[in-house]
Amino acid sequence: MSSIPAGVPTREIYWNVPFHDLLYVFLVPTLAIAAWGVYRRVRLWRAGQPILRFDRLGERLDLFVKDVLAQGRVVRSSYAAFFHTGLVIGFLVLFAATTVVAIQADLKIPIMQGPFYLFFQSLTVDLFGLYVLVGCAMAGYRRWKTKPAKLVYTDEATRLVLLIGVISLTGFLCEGWRIAVTDDPWGGWSPVGFVFAAASDSMMSDSLMKTLHTGTWWFHMALSFGFVAWAPYTKMLHVLTSPLNIFTANLDGYGASLKPLDFEKAERLGVNALTDFTWKDLLDLDACTECGRCTAVCPANTVGKTLSPRDIILDLRELMHNNAPALLTTLGANGAGTKGADSSAPAGAIDAAATLPPVIREGTPLDPEALFSCTTCAACMEACPVHIEQLPKIIDARRYLVMEEAEFPEGMMNAITSLESRQHPFPGTQFNRTDWAEGLGLDVLGDMEDPTEAEVVFWVGCGGALVERNRSTVRATAKLLKRAGVKFAILGREESCTGDPARRIGNEFLYEMLAKGNVETLNKYGTKQIVTSCPHCFNSFKNEYPQFGGDYQVHHHSQYLQELVEDGRLLNGKDDVEKKLDRKVVYHDPCYLGRHNGEYKAPRALLDGALNTKREEVARSGRDSFCCGGGGGMMYIDEKPDQRVNQERASQLLESGADTVAVGCPFCATMLEDGVNARKGDREVSVMDIAELLLEAAGDDEASAPVAE
Amino acid sequence: MKILVCIKQILDPDMPARDFKVNAETKEAERGGANLVTNIFCENALETALQIKEKTSGKVTALSYGTDDTEDSLRKALAMTVDEAALILREGDSNPDAEAVAKVLAAAITKLGEFDLILMGRESGDWGVGQTGGLLAEELGLPSLAFVDSIEANDGTLTMRRQTDSGTETATVTGPALALITNNEFNVPRIPKTRDVMMSYRKPLEKFSLADIGLSAEDVSGSSFYEVTDLSIPTKDVQCEFVEGDSIDEKIGVLASKIQPVVAANS
Amino acid sequence: MSNVIVVLFGNNGWDRSAEGAAGTGQRLAQSTGGNLNVVFLGDASKEARDGAAACAASVVVVNQPELAEYQPEAALEAAQKACAEISDTSVVLFGNDTYSQELVPRLAHRLGGCSLADVQGVTADGGQVLATRSAYGGKAMSTYSMKKTPVVLWVRARAMDPATPGAGGSLEEKAYELATPRLTITSRDVLESEGPSLEDASIIVSGGRGLGGPEAFENELKGLATAMHAVQGASRAACDAGWVPPNWQVGQTGKKVAPELYLAIAISGASQHLLGMGDSKMIAAINTDPDAPIFKHCSFGIVEDYKNVVAPLTEKLNSMG
């Protein structure tokens, strides 16, 4: 038994591996195969339309650190967090170790020694190698034993888990036999290898171990190289595409995820061919890790509808790869595929695109019925560990169906028709835009001598003014604003829909007309600040109107009222509420206030200031909130009785034991009131807007008198 | 097949009842904040015409007698894929009587050329007088059928189905005819494709004055047939008695006792 | 002295519509000092001839094969010729049915007169004919001064009082030479319905969108209608949703009815609906929303979910016999 003299801790590189330089010979084809695998995907993305996603590098780097390196989103699922983080960091560490070896062996820089050798190259690498092994076991356990529905079960995935496990295991075997045979005095720093060494030492002779070591080492290398070469042809490609996808993610929040259309130039309104998507949309497809979290959180999917964001992505991915030759033809026609090709593509590109199959096909995940059951709640995008943008793709497809084919559900048609002729989506309403304010003596901008005296415009919204249920909400908000002495005015008859329902249903054209009209009206009065009662209006002003020249400081009423409370202008300051509420309240986050715009705190703070009791929370809240079922035009559709999102959500909220469901959105109020009434049984449960609750806490002078007709 | 559809733009009939106000002076409804929309039966007529065109071939023309505002309704018709539109600009009385309108339409149709089929809505959602179609048929000397809900065209023969009090009737006519369209599930007006909405601004929409079609304002003064002498919002003095009771059973008992005598008297 | 003509279709018999039209004609004739004349297009039953003769100064039955079944051109020409033979006519009245509605404007044009539809009240004081009717989908009432003679109207005859029997008048049968029609009605399909038509019903049980689906019409409301000896009707929303056939629709664009009792269940009461049933003698409503417009037109109502009311009410009515 030979031994290394005591002294500086290190080990012999390529011990017991003759002809190890052959590695470099094998590395060339390996990398070539891998590179081809990557390239054949990258070139397909380039068939997509241009979009700017390499700007704002600082922010992108931040996101990269947060969600790639720190696995920020992966870790939201604790099981996956544990094994996936292990695999990722393990891979990074092992890759670093390999690099260290290369530096020492090929660059002849002696870094693999001393404390660095002991702590990093031995101990750390060993532990993370173990982590990888455990990770594979956990992934395997989940895949073969617990089998959650959200996963996609393929042979490829099985082989990948096994392969990584075997690579890791053979690495330890080699290490163990090396330690045992060389009697490595630093062997203890590699605890896993050390255990293998101890076990082998007692069972085998040195020569057997040396023989096995050489064979296994080459086997280990063959598997590793094979893995590298094969990975880009499997879902392991996500090792590259997911970080790239996160780096090029939409940085502006879900509320700003829909692209404007250039109606002058667009050859097709919306998307029905792969080439209508942007290159980032196509990259999204290859970035998918098939984790299934999007579909698991999807409210439509939860209640049994066919919509599945995961399957939309996977179906499109398959479509992209099955039509690679045709896509590449469009690329050739598309000005030799120069990145950022002009959107006014030459005629040849259109001809080539015509040979592509449609994206929207009945009976597939992109069936119109599925596409028109999306509530645009963005839960899928929030759940995606790699920032895939499912929602814009769904809306792109809707745009095609609505604008090019005019084929969409009847309820949505009625809303659109009403928006076209009456600028609100509620046909048959018996109210006008100012009925709710009767007797309050509110200023109407158009009637004011000096409209700039109004510091704030209270944007009431169609859902507030025209829907019976919500008139008391906007009335409460107006009363509170008055009480706080806010100089505000309403637009009255000049207000029209912000266009949110039109945009989400897919009628971008109508949305643009409404948006432009509203911006013109607001700018005419020199509007600077807006308070909205509806998160959908809020989202339009905040994220969508700036591109039409509408730059306003916009607040949701919960935010503005909370500011007034904090400033002591309402309730005489936070701690001096005259009459605190004894209700048991659970708050439901509206998608367009919460997930789309990140406001979770203000409504809760406002409620906490008005309550005597402790507020309840449900599991699906905040970032993970479950939609009321009313977004994306779904408000206007009659869902099948056994597939109602609002009832599902009502059940979740009722489980909290609350007697009051607090909401901050007129759509949520109507949907959840229906849902709660259907599911509450004998309980007395009411659905109330935050403004109504605050007014109740502050004491409503008019409480005894009914709202004037 | 050349089809002409006469359409009327009216005050939005779906405006909230409480917003509805009348001007006692002019004997007309106040526009207020309400919108102007195409009369629904006229849209059913457009849809019927377009379906005939799509099944056979030919051209659909939309015609209206109105103001510049009426252009919106005609543009919408063009967006529904009507081929061309004509607008006769109204002069004089803003609420011309049915006979005056029929005369204008007849003169306009003569000016526009020959048509195999003329469609109109059965009545309008504003005044709802429902006379213009019959009068136009007389002016043009055409056979007509009312309450038609579907039409098939075959080698110059038109087969029309119409709704009656007790069911349906089928009629055939050869040569030009006029049909007054009512709604059914098959002629629900289509939602225009956005592409067609954009194209509608490039389609021909010709405007004519009365003089252009050989009439003078005096010819169609608009009150030689009838004249509205009063328009008012009825004040219902019915006071609903809400059935009271401590329990729902008691309420139902009261309700039953109120209904029962009428039932007994009529059974 | 100016005469009044009531034009009826022989096939319809002496129904409620004929009675109301004749009654209105009689009252008009009395106020103008003229005679009431009844013209039947097509052969009329003995009952119809007797009914007409009991109140009219003259009855003309245009009885010829071309009028055995309604044909638009034949009916128009026959009506034109029959009316032209009666001198000094100020008003020609029709009832409220498909054929009348179709003929009125064309006949007015041919007689050189003027016309109006869906008239709810008509007076002829001092030779000036005034007609009142709903406008703007029932949101307004309007009065028209008619400018040409004769004034041809179709009226909501079922809601109008019948004639009082007077001295029996003359009755003669006539036949005219009629032009070859260009348009021919070739087939007629009568939709099957049990019992009387909506227009003829004394009691109507109507349902609206608030019922949530066709099941309630098929079950609860049908049961109640049976117990009340009523005919079922519906709002436009329910018909448009396809829950019930289109000919169930009551309202501006559906049937205009005037029963003794109209029970509106889960109908909010849009003005267009009210226009079709506002003449009912008694209106009752079941609705969850106390602010629903229907309650502003009701004699009595109950603010409850129909699910809690209809079945027990049916039971109660059955037990009361």
Q: Examine the domain organization and report whether A168 and A215 are in the same domain.
A: yes
The answer to whether the beta carbons of residues A16 and A173 sit under 8 Å apart is: no
Q: Could you tell me if residue B130 is inside a domain?
A: yes
Given a cut of 80, is residue B222 above it in pLDDT? no
Taking only the tens place, the pLDDT of each residue in C102-138 is 999 999 999 999 999 999 999 998 889 999 999 998 8
Helix (H) or strand (E) holding A691: helix A690-698
Of A425, A626, A436, A615, whose CA–CA distance to A511 is shortest? Answer: A425
Distance from CA of C241 to the nearest CA of A (A): 10
B interface mutation test: which of C136, C199, C252 has the most B CBs within 10 A?
C136
Q: Give CA A683 to chain center in angstroms.
A: 36
Beta-strand pair B28-29/B22-23: antiparallel
> In the complex, which subunits touch B with 3 or more CB pairs below 8 angstroms?
A, C
Instruction: Name the CATH architecture for the domain at C203-320.
Output: 3-Layer(aba) Sandwich (3.40)
Contacts of A263 in chain B (CB under 8 A): 198
Say whether residue A405 is in contact with chain B using an 8 A CB cutoff.
yes
- Mean pLDDT across C47-58: 94
Q: Using one digit for the tens of pLDDT, what is the confidence trace for A288-331? A: 999 999 999 999 999 999 999 999 999 999 999 999 988 988 87
Binned at pLDDT 50, 70 and 90, residue A708 comes out as: very low
Question: Are residues A119 and A182 both part of a single domain?
Answer: yes
B256 in Cβ contact with C302 (< 8 Å): no
Q: Which residues 503-522 in chain A show a CB within 8 A of chain B? A: 507-510
pLDDT, mean of residues A180-199: 91
Shared domain check, A425 and A343: no
The minimal CB distance from C270 to the residues A428, A468, A709 is found for A428
Partner residue opposite B33 with nearest CB, options A430, A493, A507: A493
Q: How far is B240 from chain C (nearest CA, A)?
A: 5
- Assess if residue B237 is contained within a domain: no
Cβ atoms of residues C261 and C226 within 8 Å: no
Q: Is the pLDDT reported for residue B98 higher than 90?
A: yes
Residue B195 in contact with partner chain A when CB distance is under 8 A: yes
Q: Which pLDDT belongs to residue A338?
A: 41
Structural domain for A157, as ranges: 22-246
* First-last CA distance in chain B: 54
Q: Is B79 part of any domain?
A: yes
Any bridge partners for residue B64, and if so which?
B87
* Chain B environment of C116 (Cβ under 8 Å): 129, 131, 226
- Residue A53 domain flag: yes
Count of the separate structural domains present in chain B: 1
Chain B touched by A266 (CB under 8 Å): no
Instruction: Give the per-residue pLDDT at A641.
Output: 78
- The two three-digit tokens of residue A622, written as one number: 């905040």
Token pair for residue C65?
A: 């094969």
Asked whether residue A277 falls in the same domain as residue A333, the answer is yes
Residue B235 lies in a domain: no
For position A342, what pLDDT does the model report? 45
Is the Cα torsion angle A238, A243, A249, A251 positive or negative in sign?
positive
B12, A421: Cβ pair inside 8 Å? yes
In a domain, B250, yes or no: no
Average pLDDT, chain A: 90
Structure tokens given for B31: 């526009």
Name chain C contacts of A468, Cβ cutoff 8 Å. 289, 291
Average of per-residue pLDDT across A674-678: 89
The answer to whether residues A630 and A549 belong to one domain is yes
Give the closest-approach CA distance of C88 to chain B in angstroms.
19
Whether residue B225 and residue C147 make contact (CB cut-off 8 A), yes or no, is yes
By C-alpha distance, the chain B residue nearest C194 is: B166
- What SS3 state is found at A436? helix
For A691, phi then psi, to 5°, come to -65, -40
Note whether A406 and B192 are within 8 A (CB): yes
Backbone angles phi, psi at A489, to 5 degrees: -145, 160
pLDDT score for A337: 40
Report the gap between the CA of A425 and the closest CA in chain B (Å). 13
- Tell me if A691 is assigned to some domain: yes
Q: Domain total for chain A? A: 3
| A8 within domain boundaries | no
Q: Which helix (H) or strand (E) holds A313?
A: helix A309-322
Residue B235 contacts residue C297 (beta carbons within 8 Å): no
Distance, in Å, from the CA atom of A625 to the CA atom of A218, rounded to the nearest integer, reads 51
Q: Which has the higher per-residue pLDDT, C167 or B64?
A: B64
Residue C291: pLDDT band (50, 70, 90) is confident
Element (H, E) at C155: strand C151-155
Name the residue in chain A with its Cα closest to that of B38: A421
The β-bridge partners of B117 are: B3, B177
pLDDT at B239: 76
What is residue A6's predicted lDDT score, i.e. its pLDDT?
Answer: 57
Q: Which of chain B's residues have a Cβ under 8 Å away from the Cβ of C139?
A: 17, 20, 29, 233
**Per residue in A155-177, pLDDT tens?**
999 999 999 999 999 999 999 99
Q: What is the pLDDT of residues A548-586, one digit of tens each?
A: 999 999 999 999 999 999 988 887 654 455 567 889 999
A109 with A175, same domain: the answer is yes
Tell me the residue range of the domain where B129 lies: 2-213
Q: Is residue A124 classed exposed, middle or buried when 0-12, 13-18 and 19+ CB atoms within 10 A define those classes?
A: middle
Q: Is residue A15 part of a domain?
A: no
> Is pLDDT of C195 > 80?
no
Domain boundary among A212, A246, A280: A246
Query: Given the DSSP bridges, would you call strands C3-9 and C89-94 parallel, antiparallel or unpaired?
Result: parallel
Contacts of residue A397, Cβ cutoff 8 Å, sequence gap at least 6: A270, A271, A272, A359, A360, A366, A371, A506
> Which of A205, A229, A246 is the endpoint of a domain?
A246
Looking at the domain C3-174, which fold is it? Answer: Rossmann fold (3.40.50)
B window 23-82, beta carbon within 8 A of A: 33, 35, 37
Task: Give yes or no: residues A473 and A501 share one domain.
Answer: yes
Q: What's the rounded Cα separation, in Å, for the pair A469 and A464?
A: 8
Residue C193's pLDDT is what? 66
Instruction: With CA atoms as reference, report the closest residue to A230 among A88, A370, A31.
Output: A31
Both A348 and A445 in one domain: the answer is no
CA distance B44 to C246: 15
Instruction: Report if residue A290 sits inside a domain.
Output: yes
Q: Is residue B222 part of a domain?
A: no
Q: What is the C-alpha separation between C62 and C59, in angstroms, rounded?
A: 10
Tell if the CB–CB gap between B167 and C191 is shorter than 8 Å.
yes
Is the CB of residue B39 less than 8 Å away from at least one CB of chain C?
A: no
Whether residues C141 and B253 touch (CB distance < 8 A) is answered with no
Measuring CA to CA, which residue among A601, A585, A461 is closest to residue A535?
Answer: A461
Cα within 13 Å of Cα(A91), Cβ side: 16
Task: Provide the pLDDT for residue A609.
Answer: 87
Helix (H, G, I), strand (E, B) or coil at B154: strand
Q: Min CA distance, C49 vs chain B (Å)?
A: 23
Option in B14, B17, B194 nearest A427 (CB): B14
Q: Would you say residue B50 lies in a domain?
A: yes
pLDDT of B36 > 70? The answer is yes
Test mutation, A263, A403, A511, chain B, max B CBs within 10 A: A403
Average pLDDT over residues A372-397: 97
Q: Which residues contact B100 (CB under 8 A, 6 or more apart)?
A: B93, B220, B221, B222, B224, B225
- The DSSP-derived string for C28-56 is HHHHHT--EEEEEES---HHHHHHHHHH-
Domain at A403, CATH number: 1.10.1060
Q: Look at residue A704 in the predicted model and tell me its pLDDT.
A: 42
Which residue from A405, A430, A510 is facing B16, i.e. has the nearest CB? A430
- Please list, residue by residue across A501-538, b when 16 or more beta carbons sit within 10 angstroms of its beta carbon and e when fewer do: bbbbbbbbbbbbbbbebbbebbeebebebbbbbbbbbb
Chain A residue closest to B80 (CA)?
A406
Which of the other chains make 3 or more beta carbon contacts under 8 angstroms with chain A? Answer: B, C
pLDDT, mean of residues A404-418: 93
- CA-based radius of gyration for chain B: 22
Residue A102: the pLDDT is: 87
Residues of B in contact with A493 (CB under 8 A): 33
- Cα B98 to Cα B102: distance, rounded to the nearest angstrom: 6
Residue A60 and residue B205: Cα distance in Å, rounded? 53
Bridge partners (DSSP) of residue B152 are B159
CA of B85, closest CA in chain C: separation in Å? Answer: 27
Q: CB C289 to CB A468 under 8 A?
A: yes
The ipTM estimated for the assembled molecules is 0.92
Q: How far apart are CA B177 and CA B158, in angstroms?
A: 9
**Nearest-by-CA chain C residue for B174:** C182
Residue C233's pLDDT band (cuts 50, 70, 90):
very high
Task: Report how far residue A125's alpha carbon sits from residue A324's, in angstroms, rounded to the nearest whole number.
Answer: 40
| Token pair in block for residue B176 | 């030009």
pLDDT value at C13 more than 50: yes
Angle, helix A645-654 to helix A666-679, in steps of 10 degrees: 70
- Cβ neighbors of A24 (< 8 A, separation 6 or more) are none
Listed by start position, the domains of chain C span 3-174, 203-320
In a domain, A1, yes or no: no
B251 touches C at CB < 8 Å: yes
Q: A220-278: per-residue pLDDT in tens?
A: 999 999 999 999 999 999 999 999 999 999 999 999 999 999 998 888 999 999 999 99
Burial A328-346 (b: 16+ CB within 10 A, else e): bbbbebbeeeeeebeeebe
Chain C contacts of B138, Cβ < 8 Å?
A: 105-106, 109-110
Which CATH number is B166's domain given?
3.40.50.620
Residues of chain C in contact with residue A428, where contact means CB-CB under 8 angstroms, are: 270
pLDDT of residue C198: 86
Instruction: Quote the CA–CA distance of C148 and A187 in Å, as a whole number.
Output: 118
Residue pointed to by tokens 């219902």: B236
Beta bridge partners of B60: B3
CA distances (Å), C175 to each of A355, A452, B229, in order? Answer: 71, 80, 40
Residue of B nearest to A416 (CA): B191
Q: Is B193 within 8 Å of B66 (Cβ atoms)?
A: no
- Sequence-ordered strand ranges (E) for A84-181: none
3-state secondary structure A274-290: HHHCEHHHHHHHHHCCC
Distance CA B117, CA B138 (A): 15
Please state, in angstroms and rounded to a whole number, the distance separating the CA atoms of residues A79 and A138.
Answer: 8
Residue C38 backbone zone (phi > 0: left; psi -120 to 50: alpha; other: beta): beta
Residues of chain A above pLDDT 70, percent: 94
At A333, is the pLDDT very low, low, confident or very high (cuts 50, 70, 90)?
Answer: low
pLDDT value at residue C110 = 98
pLDDT of residue A106: 86
Check C291 against A428: CB less than 8 A apart: no
Residue A663 lies in a domain: yes
Residues in B touching A431 (Cβ below 8 Å) = 16, 18
pLDDT digit string, tens, across residues A484-539: 999 999 999 999 999 999 999 999 999 999 999 999 999 999 999 999 999 999 99
Pick the last residue of a domain from A246, A262, A277: A246
Contact B225 C202 (CB under 8 A): no
CB A499 within 8 A of CB A543: no
Using the Cβ of B16 and the Cβ atoms of chain A, whether some distance falls under 8 Å is answered with: yes
Distance from C-alpha of A221 to C-alpha of A30, rounded to nearest angstrom: 11
Distance of CA C93 to the CA centre of its chain: 12
For the stretch B136-172, pLDDT in tens is 999 999 999 999 999 999 988 999 999 988 889 999 9
